[in-house]
Amino acid sequence: MALHNTQNLPPVQYVTNDTLHQLFDAIDSISVQGYDEQRRVIYWNKGSEILYGFTCQEAMDKKLEDLIIPAPMQEPVIKAHSDWVNLGIEIPAAELTLTHKDGSDVAVFSSHVMLTNEYNTKQMYCIDIDLSEVHKAQAEATFNATMLQTLFEAIPDLFFVLEHDGTITDYHASDKNDLYVSPAQFIGKKMAEVLPEKVAQMFDLHIEKAITLGDMVSFEYDLSMPDGIYYYEARVRLLPKTNQIMMIIRDITQPHRSAELIRRQAHFDHLTALPNRFLSLDRLSQLLGAIQKKHEKAAVLFLDLDDFKKVNDSLGHEVGDKILIETAHRLQQTLKQNDTVGRLGGDEFIVLIPNLKNDNDALAIAERLLNAFRKPFKIEGRELILTLSIGIAISPKDGTTASMLLRNSDTAMYQAKAQGRNTFSFFTAQMNATMQRRFEIEVHMRSALKKNELEVYYQPQINVKTNKIIGAEALLRWHNEKLGTITPEEFIPIAEQTGLIIPMGMFVIEQALKFLNEWQAMNKQNYTMAVNLSPCQFRDPELVNTIMHALHKYEVKNEHLELEITEGVLMNGQDSIRDALTKIDELGIKLSMDDFGTGYSSLSYLRQYSFDVLKIDRSFISAITDDKADFNLVKAAIAMSHSLEIKVVAEGVETKEQLDLLNTLECDIAQGFYLSRPLQASQMLTFSLT
């Protein structure tokens, strides 16, 4: 806590406390507390009772850190007080977040003065000013500014802000040619004064409905333009904080006309209005017939949205449908008019490129498509990033029939997935070898445990502040006599797809706890062991019981085991997973959020579940010393975690500069190649940082 004599009072040798207290007793709008040299309360005014909830009787003789200081701040507060009492080192005033009697946060501006009383003992008086109203006002201002900025950036269509009576006060249009009349003709006027009578009545009706319901209201209408009838969708919502109306107008003329075509022909996808699988393959067959006669080339691009199933399952099919519609829109906007975009089903799309001059043309198109999906999807107030994996097959070299090209582009797409997603891959004969290796890995994996081919390695974790080893992360490694060393990046996804991850995961837990028992006994240290849990392992109803059995078997205390989970576990949302995580927390086993910063909703999960540890992904640590954005993200993540009493682990520390900077940011724990590569059990037992 910050302590500072803001009035620059001269040193006081003898002070009559009664006089001082009489002054403070007359003030209840400011919290004033007095503490002796042992930080025990000697004075607690009415303002302190109001601000912190403790009565004077409850506070008297209690220590400062036992009343209003959050746990993470207690040690530095005690040291700061001691340094002032013993060394005369004053502590500056600052904004702090302290603790109310009921456990809630209290934001204050805190300053202190140290006095010496008539008995030559030092007394510290703390003056705290409540900042809650200031912070509330700042939050509201930030919200309003962010909301408006997001709306302007996110909506490419027409945007209007109206007063409660329907008067138009502001607008946004990407292209002013889309406006029915010029801004000078509608700013300061009501919709009824601008639009045709029938349409104006619809606007008045739905504005009133939005105000009454307090929710989003949408409707469609049409306008007669010089070049024909145009169709629009209007979305209306009341903004209660400002008592204004938000209105978004979207041009739906093309989808409307496509819908008519769907009803007539049933050849178009009902959701995206794109050609469906039947029509897409029919067009591909026609295209192949045409290029064979002209001896030309054509490309087939097989597109799949990365991680769409996770979003669809976690946020619902309504959000998923909106993503697919936006995906279709982006594809159409990126490609030329004579290119064909179709939806094959689910989150799979196909692109047909005629008149291809060379392979580089297909490559350029694939890169444009990837760039189009680097902009976040903004759906119902959420920002979601869904990238593409693209497989490319060129006719005639990769096939001369629609079915062959579709199959080969599909194979190439899976190769792009294997390369890390958010990329493209051309179909090649080598892919057959790749698929064959995958099958071989799966076959040998089924006997890997029986043949003792699996081994657990351990990567040390250190306390950043003390530079001492505090634990390790267990990492699975596999060496096969025929296939050689198979990396986790290669075999773990296959293990998850086949379900073999469940027995392999329990093997890691057994080996890790067995080693931890030996490691703790040898060094007489209470090390912690971190073990990754795959989403698939939560399908095992005996997961928690099996973990508890292993802890008991190897005589390891529950709190010395840390289970690392990724967002993929939480996005499923099943009751069985929530129950398992709750049971893990109740048993005192530590829970860690792994790969933080790479998912969609990690912040919300930190509120829903009792995480003890947050692991910042190595992709942010690698550039922390020279990338301001990564630095700020890591800094914010550490501050946020500490405010939630969550420890922070930095993964992938590879340089001394990174470690020093993490120490400055008060990161708790670090691991990475700079400290040590993963070690075998025998190496880990004797490993030392010195």
Q: Is residue 490 included in any domain, yes or no?
A: yes
- Considering the domain architecture, whether residues 611 and 463 belong to the same structural domain is answered as yes
Instruction: Yes or no: say if 461 and 472 are a contact pair by the CB < 8 Å rule.
Output: yes
Q: Phi-psi bin for 598: left (phi > 0), alpha (psi -120 to 50), beta?
A: alpha
User: What average pLDDT does this structure show over 325-330?
Assistant: 94
The secondary element (H helix, E strand) that includes residue 344 is strand 340-345
609 or 269, greater pLDDT: 269
Q: Would you say residue 13 has pLDDT above 50?
A: no
Q: How confident is the model at residue 261 (pLDDT cuts 50, 70, 90)?
A: low
Q: Is residue 379 included in any domain, yes or no?
A: yes
Q: Would you say residue 550 has pLDDT above 90?
A: yes
- Considering the domain architecture, whether residues 405 and 470 belong to the same structural domain is answered as no
User: What average pLDDT does this structure show over 533-543?
Assistant: 84
Rounded Cα gap, residues 362 and 370, in angstroms: 12
Query: Which domain covers residue 486, as residue numbers?
Result: 448-685
Q: Residue 34, SS3?
A: strand
- Considering the domain architecture, whether residues 333 and 461 belong to the same structural domain is answered as no
Q: How confident is the model at residue 10 (pLDDT cuts 50, 70, 90)?
A: very low
What pLDDT was estimated at residue 560? Answer: 96
- Considering the domain architecture, whether residues 480 and 412 belong to the same structural domain is answered as no
What pLDDT was estimated at residue 504? Answer: 94
- Considering the domain architecture, whether residues 156 and 304 belong to the same structural domain is answered as no
CB atoms within 10 A of CB 575: 7
Cis, peptide link before residue 156, omega less than 30° from 0 = no
What pLDDT was estimated at residue 573? Answer: 57
Helices 543-553 and 575-586, axial angle in degrees (round to 10)? 20
Chain centre distance of CA 583: 24
Rounded Cα gap, residues 151 and 246, in angstroms: 10
Question: Could you tell me the two tokens for 308?
Answer: 């769409």
- ∠ CA 450-454-459 to the nearest 5 degrees? 155
The secondary element (H helix, E strand) that includes residue 187 is none
Which residue matches tokens 């991680």?
Answer: 307
For the segment 560-585, what is each residue's pLDDT rounded down to a tens digit? 999 998 876 776 556 778 888 889 99
What pLDDT was estimated at residue 572? Answer: 57
Q: Is residue 589 included in any domain, yes or no?
A: yes
Question: Could you tell me the two tokens for 27?
Answer: 């003030």
Rounded Cα gap, residues 382 and 384, in angstroms: 6
* Phi, psi torsion values for 618, nearest 5 degrees: -60, -25
Which residue type does 532 have? N
What pLDDT was estimated at residue 264? Answer: 57
Q: How confident is the model at residue 17 (pLDDT cuts 50, 70, 90)?
A: low
Tell me the pLDDT of the chain averaged across its residues.
86
- Considering the domain architecture, whether residues 378 and 456 belong to the same structural domain is answered as no
What pLDDT was estimated at residue 304? Answer: 94
Q: How confident is the model at residue 631 (pLDDT cuts 50, 70, 90)?
A: very high
Q: Give the rounded percent of residues in the chain with a pLDDT score beyond 90.
A: 41
- Considering the domain architecture, whether residues 474 and 601 belong to the same structural domain is answered as yes
Q: How confident is the model at residue 190 (pLDDT cuts 50, 70, 90)?
A: confident
Instruction: Yes or no: say if 31 and 130 are a contact pair by the CB < 8 Å rule.
Output: yes
Question: Could you tell me the two tokens for 315?
Answer: 């946020």
- Considering the domain architecture, whether residues 165 and 301 belong to the same structural domain is answered as no
Q: Is residue 152 included in any domain, yes or no?
A: yes
Q: Is residue 285 included in any domain, yes or no?
A: yes
Q: Which of 84, 105, 130 is the last residue of a domain?
A: 130
Question: Could you tell me the two tokens for 125?
Answer: 């008086």
Chain centre distance of CA 181: 42
Please give the full DSSP string across 360-428, using - where no structure is assigned: HHHHHHHHHHHHHTSSPEEETTEEE---EEEEEEEETTT-SSHHHHHHHHHHHHHHHHHTTSSEEEE--
For the segment 85-96, what is each residue's pLDDT rounded down to a tens digit? 898 899 888 888
How far are the Cα atoms of 76, 129, 633, 661 from residue 72, in angstroms, in the given order? Answer: 8, 21, 21, 20
- Considering the domain architecture, whether residues 631 and 506 belong to the same structural domain is answered as yes
* Phi, psi torsion values for 504, nearest 5 degrees: -65, -40
Maximum pairwise Cα distance, the chain? 108
Q: What is the domain-level CATH number for residue 124? A: 3.30.450.20
Domain count, the chain: 4
Strand 528-532 relative to strand 484-486, pairing: unpaired
Rounded Cα gap, residues 459 and 461, in angstroms: 7
- 74-83, 254-263, 290-299, 497-506 — which is least confidently predicted? 254-263
- Considering the domain architecture, whether residues 38 and 66 belong to the same structural domain is answered as yes
Which residue matches tokens 């939806």?
Answer: 343
- Considering the domain architecture, whether residues 200 and 280 belong to the same structural domain is answered as no
Q: Would you say residue 9 has pLDDT above 70?
A: no
Q: Would you say residue 115 has pLDDT above 90?
A: no
What pLDDT was estimated at residue 225? Answer: 80
- Considering the domain architecture, whether residues 51 and 167 belong to the same structural domain is answered as no
Q: What is the domain-level CATH number for residue 468? A: 3.20.20.450
For the segment 480-535, what is each residue's pLDDT rounded down to a tens digit? 999 999 999 889 988 887 889 999 999 999 999 999 999 999 999 999 999 999 88
Q: Is residue 263 included in any domain, yes or no?
A: no
Q: How confident is the model at residue 390 (pLDDT cuts 50, 70, 90)?
A: very high
Q: What is the domain-level CATH number for residue 403? A: 3.30.70.270
Q: Is residue 630 included in any domain, yes or no?
A: yes
What pLDDT was estimated at residue 6? Answer: 36
Q: Would you say residue 459 has pLDDT above 90?
A: yes
Instruction: Yes or no: say if 127 and 30 are a contact pair by the CB < 8 Å rule.
Output: yes
Global pTM value: 0.46
Which residue type does 504 have? M
Q: Would you say residue 350 has pLDDT above 80?
A: yes
Q: Would you say residue 540 has pLDDT above 90?
A: no
Q: Would you say residue 12 has pLDDT above 80?
A: no
* Phi, psi torsion values for 315, nearest 5 degrees: -105, -10
Instruction: Yes or no: say if 660 and 455 are a contact pair by the CB < 8 Å rule.
Output: no
Q: How confident is the model at residue 135 (pLDDT cuts 50, 70, 90)?
A: confident
For the segment 28-53, what is each residue's pLDDT rounded down to a tens digit? 778 899 999 999 999 999 988 998 99
Q: Which of 396, 428, 460 is the last residue of a domain?
A: 428
What pLDDT was estimated at residue 334? Answer: 92
Q: How confident is the model at residue 599 (pLDDT cuts 50, 70, 90)?
A: low
What pLDDT was estimated at residue 27? Answer: 74
Q: Is residue 8 included in any domain, yes or no?
A: no
Question: Could you tell me the two tokens for 187?
Answer: 């700013």
Q: Which of 130, 157, 192 is the last residue of a domain?
A: 130
